[in-house]
Amino acid sequence: MHKAVKTALLAIGTGLLLSACGGGSGGGDDDAAMTPTPTPAPSAAISGVAAAGAPLAGTVTVKDANGVTRSVPIGADGGYSVDVTGLTAPFVFRAEGVVGGRRYVVHSAATAADVGGTINVTPLTDLIIANIAGDLASNFFDNPNFASLTATELTEQSNALKARLQDVLTGLGIESTIDLLRTSFATDHSGLDAALDVLRVTVDPVTQQATITNLLTNTAITDDLKSKADATKLPDPGDIRAVVGDLQGIEAALKAFTAKFANGLPTSAEVEPLLDVDFLQEDQSRDNFLADATTDPNNVGIQFTGVTLESPAQETQDGTIARVGFTVLNKDGKLDGIETGWRFKKVTENGTTRWLAMGNRARFVAEAYPLALRNDHNGEITYTTGLEFWIEDENAGNNNGVVSYALVKGPGLPDAGVRYNVPQLGGEFCLADGPQGSCLKQYVMNDVAINSIPDNSSYDFEFYTAGGQKLNITTTTTKQTRVILRRPHTNGELANLAFPVLVKPTRTETGQYNGGPVAIQATFPTGYAFGVAANYWTTGDSSEEVDIWRYDSPATFSETFELAAVPSGETVNWAQIRLDYMDESLRNVLAVYTVTKNVQ
């Protein structure tokens, strides 16, 4: 799998505003003159923007008063339009998608008077609906009380929330007449979009308390969803309009990078001016990163979207630095990965200001993703599910010490963390509690632990010496962090999960294999990023592996893998084929077929 520039599966499309066309009459005689001119029918659509600091990549679903639903894709600019012809007002909306490395499910609502107009779906409209419902907006969508969705109530709660945010809105230069629910806006980091950039809404589902945080000042207020009396305002941040230009500049820098890959692979020299000399991404220096990125064909047509602010521009010893997250799409616009913690440096040269990418500054390769595994070993089939943590140290010279092990901490894991040891011969870190002689990566979990993992869960990687000293990863932190969009599949869900299936070679043919080319046939769920790998190990400890990672998975895969011949005097004592794909939430589904021979 390519890791130089990782890229994820989101539907992108634009809805059409559906409207009836009216006709006119032509003059010429008295009968014709008496024919009335038809009045154009009003639009039977509701349109708007679904965004959370950047366009949501996903879908909008509308539910009417009779429980009927319709779904439409969200456009690349965040726009959506849904035809509500035949549906009964009022309506509730749900937008689901990914922005800046986070999964969002946000809600909104409309009355009959809004048909033909604008209704936005954002974290702020989600909060408006939650205050009307006195409950989580997601619960309200699932079981709506449509009697509470009046035009008056929507306007009152929208105005009440705007009043609490007014000083921040003013600081961004936003007009006081803005309607959080109904004002059209562009996802260009200005206007209402700028407010979504700097305001983070989080909701505790247990206490039903929402927290609204100004990311620029790190000030926050709470909103009790069960009470409509909350009126505390976010503190006045002063003039913060500079953040608009900063985000637009960073987005321009990312677009300049992907433009180099639009029609083919560029040279390293073509891309190098876009990266800071101190660039570091997953333990890769600028030169190493460029060497990988500009030779991987999977990066042709790559797109970086959904840029969101994680930390505003600040003066540091390294210059003016801002931190952002973004979503990575493949050439077909499908989700391939999420990136968080990328630093950008603001530089001015010859009177021109621009932003240089610095990477995530991570000194280790550290990945976290849900993994569902079907393991067929000599015909004995087992299933496991949980989280896979992939850790490597590609440059031991920048670790600030000699690393012995890593601890991974986060939701669903033991409080003390899960330990991964540095392997004696180098390579990927191995699960400390795994069987002796193996190097497992998957931390197997039960359904209680899995169900305790919320969306957008963060996992921290800490690195230690043999004596238990925690090492600094950068000058300011002792951990690397990765985010998963959704929890792993539960054990109860595995029976209905679509695992890839190996058709050829059969188990008997695999048992007879003794090196050289192998023809692989397999079936996959279609439309995903997928991988196929074949490898063997010999009696003389020789090994060989060939793998591919491609888009999109076909219903039937067929290809010959050119593995090397077995060295003279040795025989294969085990052979293995791996088939996997990443679903729309970047959850890995893996089927492993292994045959171990009884070699005397």
Residue 114, classed as helix, strand or coil, is: helix
Look at residue 598 in the predicted model and tell me its pLDDT. Answer: 66
What pLDDT is stored for residue 144 in this prediction? 94
Q: What is the pLDDT of residue 476?
A: 72
pLDDT in tens, the chain (600 residues): 333 333 322 222 222 222 222 333 333 344 433 444 443 445 689 999 999 989 998 999 999 999 999 999 999 899 999 999 999 999 999 999 988 878 999 999 999 999 999 999 999 999 999 999 999 999 999 999 999 999 999 999 999 999 999 999 999 999 999 999 999 999 999 999 999 999 999 999 999 999 999 999 999 999 999 998 899 999 999 999 999 999 999 999 999 999 999 999 999 999 999 999 999 998 999 999 999 999 999 999 999 988 999 999 999 888 999 999 999 988 888 888 889 899 999 999 888 999 999 999 989 999 999 999 999 999 999 999 999 999 999 888 888 889 999 999 999 999 999 999 998 877 899 999 888 778 899 999 999 999 999 999 999 999 999 999 999 877 678 899 999 999 999 999 999 999 999 999 999 999 999 999 999 999 999 999 999 999 999 999 899 999 999 988 999 999 999 999 999 999 999 999 999 999 989 999 999 999 998 644
How far apart CA 53 and CA 484 sit, in angstroms, is 19
Q: Six-digit token pair at 391?
A: 């850790």
CA 105, CA 454: separation in Å to the nearest integer? 12
Cβ-based neighbours of 540, under 8 Å, separated by 6 or more: 567, 569, 570
Domain ranges of the chain: 41-224, 242-359, 365-490, 498-596
CATH of 498-596, one of 2.60.40.10, 1.10.150.50, 4.10.490.10, 1.25.40.10: 2.60.40.10
Q: Given phi > 0 = left and psi -120 to 50 = alpha, else beta, which region is 101?
A: left
If we measure between CA atoms, which residue out of 12, 71, 3, 6 comes closest to residue 334? Answer: 12
The one-letter amino acid at 117? G
Contact (CB, 8 A) for 444 and 386: yes
Domain covering 242-359 in this structure, CATH number? 3.10.450
Tell me what pLDDT residue 170 has: 96
Tokens of 191: 């206007």
Is 86 exposed, middle or buried (CB count within 10 Å of its CB: 0-12, 13-18, 19+)?
exposed
In sequence order, what DSSP letters do the residues of 359-420 get, joined into one string? E---SSEEEEEEEEEEEEETTEEEEEEEEEEEEE-S-GGGSSS---EEEEE-TTS-TT-EEE
Q: Residue holding tokens 């500079």?
A: 242
Vertex 132 angle, CA 130 and 137, to 5°: 25
